[in-house]
């Protein structure tokens, strides 16, 4: 008897977590990813010998299942715990120590970047990944699923499909798909409930800077009225930054980001540096290099209708990702993948 086959669209943390959950089952998992890497918006890249996290900044070790995954189940040779707290600031730039309870939760990352987590999940699950493959639509015929890429080539013979892209991209796939309307209409409506922020994220590298105006790893804008939403120091991630340099990651407020999304990079840089100088009380801060990431779908602020998404599971169509929780949190995205893996295993009669 042939093993049941699952197609996972998107090699982000949620899709790879589902594959991890199914690692001991009989399900054969194949993943199709439009980019060259894994981990989705929990991405990493190298600039000027510095390993950067331009999206998700760390993995929060909660609930207990996520902490167990990070420190007990997956390899830990590269795992690091980020010291220091997250402080808050308001519209005026006034700084305050953060919530002690929230700061007590460990903040995990990896020496070689947060994308290491996706690589470890992929390696541990044994999922096969086809990179630079953009799936454009699905076909559902006689109980089986086929995937059609943007060139028109088909991948056939799947018993179930797990969709994990941001909701607008998943909607585009479903709208182009050939399947009964009674199957596709509910999840389409459910996905349309999700709303996403745009965000501009800068990394700024400079010669060693003055001391920080507080004992913090990062600053979070609590009232959402400052141009900066988040500021953190790559220096606090072990093994990331060469000695004698300061590297600051700055995520701009979504409203400001949307207004300036297509703006010239040089103009954006000047505005961002000015805001950083004021917030950190560093009037002479002058980066000698920078990196910019424009996130069109940075993170959701309104969740999809999960009941509508679950309605298609009886035909083998599943969903996971942060659209289901309405927050851009790596741990929550992972959790949706783990739960999807459990439901897929039951559907396919292959206990995980």
**Are both 290 and 217 inside the same structural domain?**
yes
Helix (DSSP H) and strand (DSSP E) numbers for the chain: 10, 20
The pLDDT of residue 321 is 97
**Are both 141 and 257 inside the same structural domain?**
no
Tell me, what CATH number does 136's domain have? 3.50.50.60
Tokens of 52: 């950067």
pLDDT digits (tens, 9 = 90+) for 40-50: 999 999 999 99
**What is d(CA 41, CA 13) in angstroms, rounded to the nearest whole number?**
9
pLDDT digits (tens, 9 = 90+) for 234-246: 999 999 998 889 9
Entry pTM:
0.96
The pLDDT of residue 352 is 72
The pLDDT of residue 242 is 86
Tokens of 308: 């509508």
- Cα atoms in the 13 Å half-sphere on the side-chain side of 285: 26
**Are both 293 and 216 inside the same structural domain?**
yes
CB 220 within 8 A of CB 86: yes
Q: Which residue has the tokens 């998107």?
A: 10
What is the extent of the structural domain holding 161?
5-41+118-195+301-348
CB 127 within 8 A of CB 77: no
Q: Which residues contact 288 (CB under 8 A, 6 or more apart)?
A: 205, 206, 207
**Are both 251 and 335 inside the same structural domain?**
no
Closest CA to 15 of 178, 129, 156: 129
**Are both 209 and 276 inside the same structural domain?**
yes
The pLDDT of residue 2 is 81
The domain total for the chain is: 2
**Are both 296 and 149 inside the same structural domain?**
no
Peptide bond into 63 cis (omega under 30): yes
**Are both 216 and 283 inside the same structural domain?**
yes
With a cut of 50, list the residues of the chain below it in pLDDT: none
The pLDDT of residue 208 is 87
Which residues share a beta bridge with 114? none
**Are both 313 and 174 inside the same structural domain?**
yes
**Are both 159 and 236 inside the same structural domain?**
no
**Are both 317 and 335 inside the same structural domain?**
yes
The pLDDT of residue 1 is 64
**Are both 291 and 307 inside the same structural domain?**
no
């Amino acid at each position: 008897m042939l093993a049941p086959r699952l197609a996972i669209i998107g090699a982000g943390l949620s899709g790879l977590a589902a594959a991890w959950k199914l690692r001991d089952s009989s399900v054969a998992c194949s993943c199709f990813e439009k980019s060259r890497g894994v981990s989705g918006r929990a991405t990493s890249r190298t600039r000027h010998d510095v390993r950067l996290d331009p999206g998700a900044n760390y993995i929060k070790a909660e609930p207990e299942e996520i902490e167990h995954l990070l420190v007990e189940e997956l390899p830990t040779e590269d795992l690091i715990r980020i010291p220091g707290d997250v402080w808050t600031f308001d519209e005026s730039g006034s700084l305050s120590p953060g919530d002690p309870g929230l700061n007590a939760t460990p903040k995990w990352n990896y020496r070689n970047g947060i994308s290491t987590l996706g690589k470890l999940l992929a390696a541990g699950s044994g999922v096969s990944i086809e990179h630079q493959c953009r799936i454009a639509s699905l076909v559902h015929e006689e109980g089986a699923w086929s995937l059609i890429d943007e060139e028109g080539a088909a991948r056939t013979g799947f018993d179930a499909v797990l969709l994990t892209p941001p909701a607008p991209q998943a909607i585009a796939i479903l709208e182009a798909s050939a399947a009964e309307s009674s199957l596709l209409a509910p999840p389409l409506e459910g996905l349309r409930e999700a709303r996403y922020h745009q965000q501009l994220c800068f990394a700024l590298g400079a010669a060693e800077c003055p001391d920080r105006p507080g004992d913090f790893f990062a600053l979070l804008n609590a009232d959402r009225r400052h141009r900066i939403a988040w500021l953190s120091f790559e220096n606090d991630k072990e093994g990331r930054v060469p000695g004698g340099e300061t590297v600051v990651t700055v995520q701009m407020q979504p409203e400001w980001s949307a207004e300036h999304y297509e703006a010239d990079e040089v103009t954006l840089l000047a505005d961002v540096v000015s805001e950083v100088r004021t917030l950190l009380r560093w009037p002479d801060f002058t980066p000698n290099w920078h990196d910019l990431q424009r996130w069109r779908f940075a993170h959701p602020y309104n969740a999809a209708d999960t009941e509508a998404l679950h309605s298609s599971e009886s035909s083998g169509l599943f969903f996971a990702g942060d659209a289901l929780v309405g927050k851009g949190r790596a741990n929550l995205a992972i959790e949706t993948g783990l739960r999807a893996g459990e439901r897929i295993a039951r559907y396919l009669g292959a206990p995980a």
